[in-house]
Chains A and B, each alone.
Chain A
Amino acid sequence: MKPRTTIVILLVVLLMVVMSACGNSADTTTTGASAQTTTTAAEAMGCSAGQVDGDLNFYNWSDYIDPDLITAFQDQYGVTVTQDFYESNEEMLAKIQAGVHYDLIVPSDYMVGIMIDDGELMKLDKAALTNLGNLDPQFVNMPFDPTSDFSVPYQWGTTGLGVDLAVVGEDHPYSWGIIFDPAMNQGHQVSMLNDAREAMGAALKYLGYSLNSTSLDELQKAADLIKSAKDVIVTFDSDNYNDNLINGEVSISHGYNGNFFTAFDSADNPDQYEYFMPEEGGTVWVDNMAIPANVDHPCTALTFINFLLDAQNGAQLTNYNYYASPNAAAKEFIDPDILGDTAVYPDEETMKRLEFIEDTGDFEINYTDYFTQAKS
């Protein structure tokens, strides 16, 4: 026994030494390929507009892009697009950090900031993005990407509540209270997003705090609030929240506006359902297209971004997924019903109550931990 245990101990020590040595060189990341990056992302390779250098590996949220657009791109440029899907920003980041190679990803606002700081995004070659001028100036040089060098807005929207009017009634309160307030939530069945920032954010807003709070005390109160509502919260789901509402599994569902509208349209009785932004406020978010630093086919990725920036393609995207487009030139091609819907394009008054999710740096992990605590 004795020689064997010595060998095992030696092996462990040796392994730790080897891994520390590798870990401390160049960067302290565990990613494989981007060894040359330190604080800035790798320089973009020179790509010209419309150039392709191979097939596209596209990592996106599920049900977020019109399959017809994918087909159109494939036909126009003669490449194949392979899609994989993720459920949350963190899941996507975990895979990217593990060194998996994707050509194009769609991180949300705060995630773009995190990835830029970590050197995980490639600087965009603006020369290849000829349609960049189509963007609404409001969505250029945003706080999470001040020089707009690493990301291009994709779609933006809000996170609120979808309800089944047959169950909650036409004159229901327009508040997060229909989930959290025992006086209002009786007999309801609720689905909340399985996303720490969104779910905790809803609770924080209801309590009157900012959803970017960096106070452990406020987070604890939010977690306790969610926990206290566990009787009515049937499930935490970031994918089926709209379907579950339509097929009667839940009567109140927390989710993203565009997905709700797609589901309402396919329901037997669309007027039975409603999406609204609670009066306490909530999240406004913008998802962006970005290229990971360890990209295999940067030119194809840039061409795809440019393809989606085209006015008509941008409009087709909105007409498919019912989210608001950051593309000013696309407005003339968007379905007027969508343009006029304040649930998709909120008015000034509502916008004041909304907040973008911001990266809280070192504090960020507390959101995940408190959320797990609330869910248990």
Chain B
Amino acid sequence: MSVETGPVSPDLERAAERAERRRGFRLGLPGFAYLVIFFAIPLVMVFVYSFATRSSTGKTLLQDWNLNSYRRLAESIVVQIAWRSLWLAVLATVICLILAYPFAYFIATRRPAIRNALLVLVMIPFWSNFLVRTYAWRVLLGSDGPVSQLTSLLGLGETRILFTPLAILIGLVYGFLPFMVLPLYAAIERIDWSLVEAARDLYASGWQAFRRVTLPLSRPGVVAGSILVFIPSLGAYVTPEILGGAKTTLLGSYIVQQFLAARNWPFGSALSFAVMAVMLAATLIYFREGGRTL
């Protein structure tokens, strides 16, 4: 608020506030309108479609509303697929965290000049096309690809990691590692090191100082990074399709299948909506724990 000298009539002040509010509202209106039309309404449609019926030839009939699709969510095959996807996403997140934390810590503790160079080296893969980076592993992991040739040289024989869940895991970690590194780096870099110094002054060992001061202070970064890795991993489609060989069915592929091969749009909609609801819940819970927003 600007500082004013002298009395101002309350009416004038209220009118000014109202004008401010209108201005803010109008500024945000294009975005709001766009998102309502092209996001909120489509979302509601998915919700509506999940209650529709599927004709015998796979057309969606917007009548005879029912809960069949949601009942199917409890089927053992769906639970199996969901569980597998969840497990893989958690693993990917944990591995990313283990790899990225020391890495981010290292960068954050370098001199500023070196820090920037190191960051640029992380940015380059980040800005590179995701599909291309995932495809690179397809080349590497084939039975006569470089990895297999390497293990042959070492006397371990030919290995084919391609088309296994391990390949998918590697692809997920590789694809999403930058999403873990960057928020972690941002959080660690922001830490007030005088606090750590104080801990050391109080006879804390290096490790104790880390565990009790640095780690908790970096939590917002851990939270943000985990979410940015967990969510795309859970709903991943491209990575399993390229590296998984259709043998391991995960949620992403299963949903797409419902819209293409199975042509069961009501069920596909129910699945999509359910997955989104789970992610939303996870995000909200995690945010409450972590405190800071993105």
A touches B in complex, CB < 8 A: yes
Residues 57-91 of chain B, each 1 if its beta carbon lies under 8 Å from chain A, else 0? 11111110100000000000100110010000000
CB distance from A214 to the nearest CB of B (A): 13
Tell me the interface secondary structure of chain B in the complex: loop
Cβ B77 vs Cβ A365 within 8 A: no
- Bound complex: CA of A91 vs CA of B247, how far in Å? 19
CB distance from A147 to the nearest CB of B (A): 20
CB distance from A102 to the nearest CB of B (A): 16
Contacts of B162 in A (CB 8 A): 249
Cβ B80 vs Cβ A376 within 8 A: yes
CB of A369 closer than 8 Å to a CB of B: yes
CB of A171 closer than 8 Å to a CB of B: no
A interface, size bucket: 35 or more
Cβ A16 vs Cβ B48 within 8 A: yes
CB of A12 closer than 8 Å to a CB of B: yes
Partner of B59 from the list A97, A369, A375 (CB cut-off 8 Å) is A97
Cβ A88 vs Cβ B56 within 8 A: no
User: Which of A11, A88, A233, A368 has the most chain B CB within a 10 Å cutoff?
Assistant: A368
Cβ A236 vs Cβ B254 within 8 A: no
CB distance from A368 to the nearest CB of B (A): 4
CB of A165 closer than 8 Å to a CB of B: no
User: Which of A15, A88, A376 has the most chain B CB within a 10 Å cutoff?
Assistant: A376
Partner of A28 from the list B45, B47, B55 (CB cut-off 8 Å) is B55
- Bound complex: CA of A19 vs CA of B62, how far in Å? 7
CB of B143 closer than 8 Å to a CB of A: yes
Cβ B57 vs Cβ A235 within 8 A: no
CB of B260 closer than 8 Å to a CB of A: yes
CB distance from A349 to the nearest CB of B (A): 34
- Bound complex: CA of A260 vs CA of B67, how far in Å? 45
CB of A114 closer than 8 Å to a CB of B: yes
Residues 251-271 of chain B, each 1 if its beta carbon lies under 8 Å from chain A, else 0? 000100101111110000000
State whether A19 and B48 are in contact (beta carbons under 8 Å apart), knowing that A236-B247, A375-B246 are contacts in the complex. Answer: yes
Cβ A16 vs Cβ B163 within 8 A: no
Cβ B144 vs Cβ A248 within 8 A: yes
CB of A155 closer than 8 Å to a CB of B: no
Residues of A207-241 whose CB lies within 8 A of B: 230, 233-237
CB of B232 closer than 8 Å to a CB of A: no
CB distance from B205 to the nearest CB of A (A): 50
Partner of A90 from the list B62, B143, B261 (CB cut-off 8 Å) is B261
Contacts of A194 in B (CB 8 A): 246
State whether A368 and B262 are in contact (beta carbons under 8 Å apart), knowing that A29-B59, A118-B59 are contacts in the complex. Answer: yes
State whether A15 and B48 are in contact (beta carbons under 8 Å apart), knowing that A23-B63, A97-B59, A249-B160 are contacts in the complex. Answer: yes
Contacts of A114 in B (CB 8 A): 57
CB distance from A229 to the nearest CB of B (A): 11
- Bound complex: CA of A196 vs CA of B246, how far in Å? 12
CB of B146 closer than 8 Å to a CB of A: no
Contacts of B65 in A (CB 8 A): 16
Cβ A196 vs Cβ B249 within 8 A: no
Partner of A20 from the list B41, B58, B62, B160 (CB cut-off 8 Å) is B62
The 27 sampled A-B contact pairs (Cβ below 8 Å) are A15-B44, A16-B65, A19-B48, A19-B62, A20-B62, A28-B55, A90-B260, A90-B261, A94-B260, A94-B261, A97-B58, A97-B59, A194-B246, A230-B247, A233-B247, A234-B245, A234-B247, A235-B163, A235-B247, A236-B245, A247-B142, A247-B144, A364-B56, A365-B56, A368-B264, A372-B77, A376-B81
- Give B contacts to A, CB under 8 Å: 41, 44-45, 47-48, 54-63, 65, 77, 80-81, 84, 142-144, 160, 162-163, 245-247, 249, 254, 257, 259-264
5 A-B pairs besides A23-B61, A30-B62, A375-B249 with CB distance below 8 A are: A28-B59, A94-B263, A248-B143, A361-B56, A376-B81
